Structure 1
Amino acid sequence: MSQASLSPAAAPEASAGSSTSPTRAHLIATLKSWPVMVSLLVLVALVLIAICAPLLSSSDPTAINPAQRLKPITAEHWLGTDAFGRDVYTRILYGARVSLLVGLGVAAFSLVIGLFVGVMAGYFRWVDAIVMRVMDGLMAIPGILLAIALVSLSGSSLLTVLIAITVPEVPRVVRLVRGVILSVRNESYVEAAQTLGTPLPTLMMRHLVPNTIAPLIVQCTYIFASAILTEAILSFLGAGVPPETSSWGNIMAEGRAYFQLFPGLVLYPGVLLSLTVLSVNLLGDALRDSLDPRMAKRM
C-alpha cells in the first residue's frame, strides 16, 4: 500500500532527475557560446561602471558650468560637455545607474506581484474569473501610454517611473504563471499531495511554484530590457525621471536640439542603451533555448 501510494509522486521525481543532467549540460554549453559570453561581458561591464561611477569620474554630473557648454572632446572632458556645461562622460556613467536600477526594480516587482497573483488565479477558479478580467483590461491599454498617464498623475520621480513601468508588465507575468499552474495543478503528484492533506502553502511552494521558475527567469530578462527601453522613452518624452537626474533618456532628450552641432549627446548614450538591450535579449534567448524542454528537443 505504501509503495503504491508513493509511486505517483516518485515518478515525476525520477523523470526530473533523469532530465536534469542533459538540461544542465545544454545550459552550460549555451552559456559558453560566444554571443552569450559577449553579452555577459557587456552586462558585467555596465554593472561595474554603474557601481564604480564615483571612482571613474571625479566630476559632479549635475554641476552646471555655462562657460564650458558644448565643448568638444578634451583631456578634461572625455566626451565633451552638454548645453549646460555638464560633463557628458560623467552623466553617462551615472545614467547607467538609473537604467540598471529601473530594469532590476521593474523585473523584481513584476516577478513578485505577478507570481503571487498568477498562482492564485491558476489555482482558484473564482479568483481567475475576477483577476484575469482586470489583467485583460490592463493589457488592452498600450504600456507606454499607461506609464505616461501614471507619471502625469503622480509626478515625476524615480519611484513613480518604477511603478508606472511595472504596472503594464505585471499582466504578462500573471498570464505566464497562470498558464503554468493550470497545466500542472491536475498532475498526479499534485493530486496525491492534496489527497495526503498537504497544507495549501506547502502544496504551492513545493509542487506548483517550482514549475514556474524556468519560464519566469526568461521572462524577467525580457522585462529587464523592456523596462530600460521604456524608461529611456519616457525620459526622452519628458515624462520620466526629473530632468536634473542623469539618465540615458534625459541625456538624449536634452541633446536632440543640438544633434547637428554635437551628435555625441545622442549617439553616446544611445549606443550604450542599444548594447544593454541587445545583450539582455541575447541572454534571454539563450536561457529560453536551454530551459524550455521543447526548444531543447528541436536543437
Structure 2
Amino acid sequence: MTRRGLLLRRLRLAFGGGPALVSLVILTLVLLMAVFAPLLATADPTAIAPADRLSGLTIEHPLGTDAYGRDVYSRVLHGARVSLLVGAGAALVSVAVGLVIGVFAGYFRALDSVIMRTMDGIMAIPSILLAIALISLTGASLLTVLVAITIPEIPRVVRLVRSVILNVRSEAYVEAAITLGSPVRRILLRHMVPNTVAPLIVQGTFVFASAILTEATLSFLGAGLPTEIPSWGNIMSEGRSYFQLFPGLVLWPGLALALTLLSVNVLGDVLRDTLDPKMEKRT
C-alpha cells in the first residue's frame, strides 16, 4: 500500500468513531451555529431592553437575559462567530508567517541565530501580558485582539518549522540537490516545505484552541473586545456578578467554550497521531 493510501486508511480509522467523531460533530455544530447565527438568533444580540433584564427562561428568551436585558441565547450564538474567527485567523496567520520565518532560520545558517534569539525574546514575555500591552496601546477592536493573540503564537510555529527544516536539510537527497547546484527556491519548495505540512496542520489546531482561550481570557478580564461585540469571554465577564442568582449567564457561554476547546484539542491529538510518520510502523 502506498504512503498516501496508508494515511487515508489511518484517517478513516481515526474518524470512524469514538472521541474523534464526537469532537468532529461538535465542531461542525458550532460552525453551523456561527454561520447561521443571524437566522437562529431570536433577538438582536446588542439590543438593550431594561424591562426584560435578568429574566428567567422564557419562550422569547430561551436562555434568559443579562443585566441589560440582552438575549443570552442570541449573544452566545454570535459569540461563536467571534471565537471561531479569532481562532481561525490566528491559526492561519501564525502558521503562514511562522512557516516563512522558520524556513529561512533553518536553511540559512547566517540568519538562524538572529531570528531565533528574536523569537526567544518574544516567547519570554507571557502571551497574556503581551496581548494586554498591545491592546492597551492601540485600543480594543477585533483586529487588534487578533494581532495581539497571533504575535505570541508565531515563535512556536517558527521553532517547529526550523526543527523540521534542520532535519530535512541533513538528508542525502537534499545535500545532493545542493551539490548539483539546484536553485535555492526549488530546494525549498520541492524538498523542504512539503515536509512541514503535516506538523503545521497539527500545530494549527493547537493554535486555534489557544487563540480562542486567550480571547476569552482577555475579554473576561475586560481587556479584550468591547461589550458591543458579543464573545463568550465578555458574556461570562458581565454575568459573573450575578452568578449566584443567575448561573446561566456564565454557564451557557462557558459550556460552549469548554466543548469547543475540548473538541479542537481531541482532533489535534488524533491528527498528530495519524500524521506522525512513526505511526506507519504500527499500522
Q: Deviations over 1:106-161 (max 9, x none)?
A: 00010011000000000001110100001111111111111111111111011111
Gapped regions of structure 2 (runs ≥ 5): none
Number of the residue aligned with 2:32: 48
Number of the residue aligned with 1:114: 98
Number of the residue aligned with 1:38: 22
Calculate the TM-score normalised by the size of structure 2. Answer: 0.97
Q: Using a 3 Å threshold, how does the CA distance of structure 1 residues 297 and 143 change in structure 2: closer, same or farther?
A: farther
SS in 2 for 1:261: coil
* Amino acid across the alignment from 1:221: T
- CA distance in structure 1 between the partners assigned to 2:89 and 2:21 by the alignment: 24
- CA distance in structure 2 between the partners assigned to 1:295 and 1:145 by the alignment: 38
2:13 pairs with 29, 33, 46, which one?
29
Q: Deviations over 1:45-104 (max 9, x none)?
A: 111111101111241111001111000000111100000000000000000000000000
- CA distance in structure 1 between the partners assigned to 2:17 and 2:281 by the alignment: 18
Number of the residue aligned with 2:150: 166
Number of the residue aligned with 2:199: 215
Counterparts of 1:73-152 in structure 2, within 5 Å, are 73-152=57-136
Number of the residue aligned with 2:243: 259
Calculate the TM-score normalised by the size of structure 1. Answer: 0.92
Deviation at 1:32, TM superposition (A): 1.2
Residue 280, structure 1, aligned to residue 264, structure 2: yes
Number of the residue aligned with 1:204: 188
- CA distance in structure 1 between the partners assigned to 2:64 and 2:16 by the alignment: 38
- CA distance in structure 1 between the partners assigned to 2:276 and 2:126 by the alignment: 29
Please provide the CA RMSD for this pair.
1.3
2:42–2:60 contact (8 Å) kept in structure 1: no
- CA distance in structure 1 between the partners assigned to 2:132 and 2:281 by the alignment: 42
| CA radius of gyration, larger in | 1
Residue identity (%): 64
SS in 2 for 1:260: coil
* Amino acid across the alignment from 2:5: S
Deviation at 1:242, TM superposition (A): 1.1
2:220–2:237 contact (8 Å) kept in structure 1: yes
Deviation at 1:198, TM superposition (A): 2.3
SS in 2 for 1:219: helix
Deviation at 1:193, TM superposition (A): 2.1
Gapped regions of structure 1 (runs ≥ 5): 1-16
- CA distance in structure 2 between the partners assigned to 1:106 and 1:19 by the alignment: 31
Number of the residue aligned with 2:214: 230
* Amino acid across the alignment from 2:127: G
Residue 240, structure 1, aligned to residue 240, structure 2: no
Number of the residue aligned with 1:157: 141
- CA distance in structure 2 between the partners assigned to 1:153 and 1:194 by the alignment: 46
Q: Deviations over 1:245-287 (max 9, x none)?
A: 1100010000000001100000000000000000000000000
Deviation at 1:201, TM superposition (A): 1.6
Counterparts of 1:172-211 in structure 2, within 5 Å, are 172-211=156-195
Count of residue pairs the alignment pairs up: 283
2:6–2:280 contact (8 Å) kept in structure 1: no
* Amino acid across the alignment from 1:195: T
